[in-house]
Each structure stands twice: as C-alpha cells, then as structure tokens.
Amino acid sequence: MTTTTSIMRSEITEQPEALRRTLDAVLPMRSEISALAGQTRNVLFIARGSSDNAAVYGSYLLQTQSGRLTSLASPSVATIYGAKVDLSGVLAVAISQSGRTQEIVDTMRWAADCGARTVAVTNGADSPLTQAADVSLVTRAGNEIAVPATKTYTTQLAALAVLALGLGADLDPGRLTGVPDVIESALDQSDERCEEIAQRLVGVHGAVVSGRGLAFSTALETALKLKEACYLHAMGLSYADLLHGPIAVVDRDTPAVLVAANSGPTLPGIAALAERVASVGAPAYGIGGGSALGAACDLSVPAPDLSEWLAPVSLIIPAQLITEKLARRLGYNPDAPRGLGKVTQTS
C-alpha cells in the first residue's frame, strides 16, 4: 500500500468549500429556473458516467418533491439515429462536469431543436454546454485533477437540489445551505471505519452495491468508483432489482455494500436486505442508514443526520474514501485509473 496522499483524497476534503461556493452561485438563480418551470411540464436528463448517476438523484428528487415526470435520455437517439421527437413542454437538463463532452452538447442542442427548453449543469463556466443552454447552473468545484469525480459530483447534486427548488419543490433552502458544514464535521469521523472496510475488501473480485429511491444514485456512483479506480467488478442495483435474481451472486467472496439515508421509506427494506445477506454468510457493509442498517451489517459508516432529499450529498463521501483507500491498498493510483481520461468523448 502506498502511503502518499493522493490528489483524489485532497479533492474529497475540498468538498465542503466547493459546495459552499456552488450554493452561493446557483441559489440566486431559482427565479430563472422558475421562469422555465411555467413553460415546461416534464424533465429530460442528458448525461453520462458520474453525471448520469447525478441525474438519477435529480430524477427521484423532482418526481418525489416537485411532481414532475422525469426520464433519462438515450443520447444515441439524437447522435446516431437522428430521430425527431416532439419535446415541446420538456425541460432538457444536460449534466456534464467539463461541459465539453460533445455527445452531451449535441444531444442538448438536438433537444432544443425538438422544442425543449434547456438547462446546463456543469463545472465548465465557459464551456460549449453553458453557451448553448437557456440557463446554466455553473458549479464552483474548482479544478478537479483526479480522474474519479468527487467534488464535481457532489456539487452537481447541490445544483440539482437548487433546480428542484426552482421547479416548485416545497423544501427548505436553509437545510441545503447547512449541508457543507454537516459534511465538514463528518469527514474525519468516518475515516477509520472507511479504512477498515477498505481493508476487508482487499482480495475480493466483485461486490454488489445497493440502495433504493434517492439513495439509488449513491449506489450507482459507488459501484462506478470501485470499478474505475479499484478495477472491482461492482454492480450497482436498486434492492428491488437485486431481489429479482442478482442477489444469487452475493456470497462470502462477493460482499454487499448497502447505502441509505438515516430515515425515509426505503430504510426498512435496505435493513431487511442486510439481514438476508448475512443469512447466506456474505459480508454486508453499510453506509448511512442509522442504527437500523448498522445493526444488520458486519461494519458500517455512520452518515450525518440529513433529510432523505439531502442525504445523497453526504452518503457518497464515505464511498469515495473507501475507494481511494482500497485503490492504494491494492497498489493502484486512484488519481489516474488505466484507460481513462477526465473528458470522455463518445458519439
């Protein structure tokens, strides 16, 4: 295991301040979002990679809190098939860390040509995505050097929470502005537990990562992090889908990582899943979920006591820490995973 501090680790610790800067910048834009709200009904998210996982959070948040039907775009419909779709009354939300992934830019422009209004969520202030959108929510994560997204991801979640407020969600903005302080106080407290989980994951070749509802986005992003930085065969699944068959792969050599907010309607189900995993002799590691999930897991990392709609912003941070620690234990450089770059271009 290498002992030097990685850039990824440094960028994980920068997240509270990145979130403060982002919220200061985008919260005042709620009126611009509200103006688009009156012209649209449904929301179409356009994204890839970590940004696509952020879109899953946005999708659940908007459907549960603003009453708007959402869907995740298939960019190939635009970029490969060139189909014409009636998107009148649709708000197309394109999410890209750099704002320079051509497929995402082209798909947002296609959506506009099909009648949609457009919003960009990006860390690229002068990017083609911001220039093409009707409204741009520019995150203030600062320069992110490590390839695995950390602060760009959590600031995207914050921007999507502001989007929900602008689209009429009856939520308290004050709770959102308090998130950076809560995360800052929790960062050091989770370090030791994350180290222990990382140690237990050394030697496994696969893992199942599961959550549901708003925390499903965290499960997907956790699995992606373990795949790209640790080369682990990690599956991110809703626990509803997991119970429909894939749970058969969970065993002593294939642990389950389970994520949940400390409260909310999905918590009983994830706690029951942890008990089922334990019943077949498989390790279960929890992130969040309060005492209900912690009691059912072999080891768990407590999460700050945030409302369910805000919990994903904090839940991903232990997963980032586990990934960084595991990568270094395995002798990998978490800052530069093989075969990956900061901006991925697809057609």
32 burial type by CB count under 10 A (0-12 exposed, 13-18 middle, 19+ buried): middle
User: pLDDT tens-digit profile of 160-183?
Assistant: 999 999 999 999 999 999 999 999
> Average of pLDDT values for 3-31?
94
CA–CA gap between residue 72 and residue 58 (Å, rounded): 10
> Is-contact 305 316, C-beta < 8 A?
no
pLDDT for residue 342: 52
Query: What are the tokens at 300?
Result: 């768990």
Query: What would the mean pLDDT of 18-38 be, rounded to a whole number?
Result: 97
CATH of 7-177, one of 3.40.50.360, 3.40.50.10490, 3.20.20.140, 2.40.160.10: 3.40.50.10490
Q: How far is CA 29 from CA 26, 36, 111, 319, in A?
A: 5, 11, 22, 30
Q: Is residue 299 predicted with pLDDT exceeding 50?
A: yes
Q: What is the pLDDT of residue 57?
A: 98
> Is residue 189 predicted with pLDDT exceeding 90?
no
What integer pLDDT is reported at residue 247 of this predicted model?
84
Determine the pLDDT at residue 241.
Answer: 87
- Percentage of residues in the chain having pLDDT higher than 90: 90
pLDDT of the residue at 97: 97
Question: Phi, psi at residue 87, to the nearest 5°?
Answer: -115, 25
Please report the pLDDT score of residue 298 as a whole number: 96
pLDDT at 48: 97
**For residue 1, what pLDDT band results from cuts at 50, 70 and 90?**
very low
Question: Domain locations in the chain?
Answer: 7-177, 182-329
Residue 345 has pLDDT above 90, yes or no: no
- Mean pLDDT value across the chain: 95
Q: Which CATH architecture has domain 182-329?
A: 3-Layer(aba) Sandwich (3.40)
End-to-end CA distance of the chain: 38
- In this model, does residue 243 exceed pLDDT 90? no
Is-same-fold flag (7-177; 182-329)?
Answer: yes
